[in-house]
Amino acid sequence: MLRLIGVGLDNGEITSKGIEAIKSAEKIYAEFYTNTETVDINRLEERTGKYIEKLSREEVEREDLILESAKEQDTAFLVSGDPITATTHYDIKHRAEQQEIDTEIIHAPSILTSVAETGLNVYKFGRVVTLPENSKPKSIIKHIEANDKIGLHTLVLLDINYEADKAAEKLVKMKEELGNREAVLFERANSKTQSITVGELKELEKNGETPHSIILVGEKSHKEAENLDAY
């Protein structure tokens, strides 16, 4: 049995269902390479009475460690945010099902829903893009432009520990016209130090530690415009 369990974006966001699944599991793995580690694993171990083994990216993507374990015993795999918003995690689910391993998904809060706290409507977001710290994929601008054509907002996820002011500078270098775009800086989503600020992309300044995300604002409804004015 394999259970993919979301632990949310901050301590306390894992559901009661998730806690019970950890308690009943014989083996528990966790990974945090797809997100900054914002959940205290030691605290979660104390709460559940279980040892949680952290895996590297290579162990998750290149080895069948998780699936081999799930064939033999009740195995839990813990993931920041929601467990299947990342392609890698959905692939694990898919491969498990192909090998006739029973699977269960236990959801939790993720950045894809938390963005609604900015006052922008979730259903008006287009394709999400990820901006790496060490490269400039042309596809990012392509997807932003596609969202712009139909007036949708673009959520730009950043690499682990990638600071938003540096990311904004890179986006402007990739396409100069983006500099004047209205943008939202969403820092440390769901934490006690969460911060939301609005301004032109070229003028965004971080207010603290990562994780950071940037939203390029598309066409706004009257209510969305009113909501953003608060920031």
CA atoms within 13 A on the CB side of 111: 27
Segment holding 200, helix H or strand E:
strand 195-200
> Could you tell me the residue ranges of all domains in the chain?
2-109, 112-229
Q: What is the pLDDT of residue 35?
A: 58
Give mean pLDDT, residues 167-180: 97
Q: What is the pLDDT of residue 37?
A: 65
- SS3 (DSSP) at 102: coil
Give mean pLDDT, residues 31-46: 79
Give mean pLDDT, residues 87-106: 93
Is pLDDT of 161 > 90? no
Segment holding 59, helix H or strand E:
helix 57-61
Q: Exposure of 194 by Cβ count < 10 A (0-12 exposed, 13-18 middle, 19+ buried)?
A: middle
Q: How far apart are CA 195 and CA 178, in angstroms?
A: 22
Which CATH superfamily groups domain 112-229? Tetrapyrrole methylase, C-terminal domain (3.30.950.10)
Structure confidence at residue 151 as a pLDDT band (50, 70, 90)? very high
Structure confidence at residue 36 as a pLDDT band (50, 70, 90)? low
- Reading the block at residue 27, the tokens are 């083996």
Cα-Cα-Cα-Cα torsion 19, 24, 27, 29, nearest 10 degrees, comes to -10
Least confident of 27-31, 55-59, 183-187, 221-225: 55-59
Between vectors from CA 119 to CA 142 and to CA 108, what angle results, nearest 5°?
Answer: 80
Segment holding 29, helix H or strand E:
strand 27-31
Answer whether CATH 3.40.50.410 is correct for domain 2-109: no
